[in-house]
Amino acid sequence: MKFICTSVDSLPAALAPRERAFSLFKASGRPGVGIVAGALKGSLKRQGYRPSVPAWDLLQLCLSVCAVDFAAPRRECADGWTRTLDLTVGLLEPVRWAPLIPKLETMLRLLTGDFWTLHFVPGGVEPPQGKGRALDCDCVSLLSGGLDSLIGGIDLVAQGYKPLLVSQKAHEDTDRQRRIAAAMGRSSTHLQASHGIYIIGDREPSTRARSLAFYAFAIVAASRVPLPVVDVYVPENGFISINPPLVPGRVSSLSTRTTHPHFIQQLQEVLDDVGVGVRLQLPYKFHTKGQMLQSCLDQARLTALAGDSTSCGRYRTYNRQHCGRCVPCMIRRAAFLAWGPDTTKSYAYPSLLGSDKSSGPDDPMAAALAVLTVREKGLDRFLGASLAFAAPAERPRYRSMLQAGIDELAALLQHDGVL
């Protein structure tokens, strides 16, 4: 599958057979050409943003990758999953990025499980020239509307930091993100942005690359923080970051690598190579979700806000309700069980015991098999090579965290009568 993403003026007059195109930041008016972030540049300018060219080119690249990820159905591939994707991206400084192509292709392979071939050509869109002054912020923190990012923001504020909160808009989560930012006292330093990808034709639902847009928004937002190097916090519990396969067949990109430490390290290397002054931080990489709840520095605020956060992997499927049985929901419920009362409004399946496979993939069974494997064969047999990426000095801490995560899941399964 071949794709091109560039400015309207740089789109080719005609597309090759089986080639698809997207215009960046502006509609082309041409039939069959998709649009990426049509309203984003103007919105950033009005809000005062003036990012550097390398940061803006990173955004153009990340949004282009997201567009391709959405537009290439996996079901058309021989194995129903692994795609071969050829992407040409118009950048302002393609020469700066050309030496990084092998590194970027490897990084995208890890993130999406596909084989990528990248080409960079002139044709990028100029960055917005907003006139806003530096914000009263000293770091950036991702705010998704989920429980982990809520805890991350609460902890930063409790420690005296002044985070610029960055959210990727999601249908009906936008208001929740605003409420959380307001409750932290950071309404005036909260950026919400949307990738605004408009697809012509079928859409792929797996969206393994969607997080790239989120990271790119945060990196562009860092341009308003008055520091030479800005910390960008990615608040995610370590169990989900590592995302060990619960059953042997669920490997590679079938389990998301969105916040995996190895992926974050690769992205950091790219930022360093192109001269973007940002440090990506995974502050909870050695914490389970339950441990994050227990160690949160403002328990009163957390208690008031935790129930309104979202975690479900099928939230839209269940009409904006937690399903209660997908892996993220089970980890959420296990965390609340380890911490205190679960104030989540409702779950479609409040007990794992009564949720059979007809309600979706059998994640409770996978969790039960994982717990039993650890009990019978040991944690190392269950993990396999999951910690091969980590430095030897860090492996004991990862191992301890993953054991605690399994223990939290086991407690939930026993609570619901599955084990």
End-to-end CA distance of the chain: 46
Residue 320 CA to residue 380 CA, distance in Å, equals 37
> Which helix or strand (DSSP H or E) is residue 301 part of?
helix 299-305
Confidence of residue 117 (pLDDT cuts 50, 70, 90): very high
Q: Over 60: is that where the pLDDT of 251 sits?
A: no
Q: Over 50: is that where the pLDDT of 123 sits?
A: yes
Answer for the pair 234, 280: CB distance below 8 angstroms, yes or no: yes
Q: Which sequence spans correspond to the domains of the chain?
A: 2-122, 311-415
**Tokens at residue 379, please?**
């944690």
Q: Over 90: is that where the pLDDT of 241 sits?
A: yes
Q: Over 80: is that where the pLDDT of 249 sits?
A: no
Answer for the pair 379, 371: CB distance below 8 angstroms, yes or no: no
Write the pLDDT tens digit of every residue in 69-112: 999 999 988 888 899 999 999 999 999 999 999 999 999 999 99
Residue 138 CA to residue 104 CA, distance in Å, equals 29
* Phi, psi (degrees; rounded to nearest 5) at 390: -80, 150
Considering only CA atoms, give the Rg of the chain: 21
Confidence of residue 417 (pLDDT cuts 50, 70, 90): very high
Residue 253 has a pLDDT of 37
* Phi, psi (degrees; rounded to nearest 5) at 13: -60, -35
Write the pLDDT tens digit of every residue in 323-373: 999 999 999 999 999 999 999 989 999 999 876 665 556 889 999 999 999
Residue 56 CA to residue 403 CA, distance in Å, equals 40
Q: Over 60: is that where the pLDDT of 254 sits?
A: no
Write the pLDDT tens digit of every residue in 20-33: 999 999 999 999 99
Residue 256 has a pLDDT of 73
CA-CA distances (angstroms) from residue 357 to 332, 361, 365, 376? 20, 6, 9, 25
Average pLDDT value for residue range 242-268: 78
CB atoms within 10 A of CB 262: 15
Answer for the pair 1, 83: CB distance below 8 angstroms, yes or no: yes
Mean pLDDT, all residues of the chain: 93
Least confident of 137-141, 235-239, 356-360: 356-360
Residue 236 has a pLDDT of 97
- Among 338, 345, 328, which residue's Cα sits nearest to residue 148? 328
* Phi, psi (degrees; rounded to nearest 5) at 90: -80, 125
CB atoms within 10 A of CB 117: 12
Write the pLDDT tens digit of every residue in 156-198: 999 999 999 999 988 778 899 999 999 999 999 999 999 999 9
Average pLDDT value for residue range 376-395: 95
The dihedral of CA 169, 294, 412, 343: what is its sign? Answer: negative
312 or 286: which leads in pLDDT: 286
Average pLDDT value for residue range 264-287: 98
Residue 272 CA to residue 100 CA, distance in Å, equals 11
In this prediction the pTM is 0.95
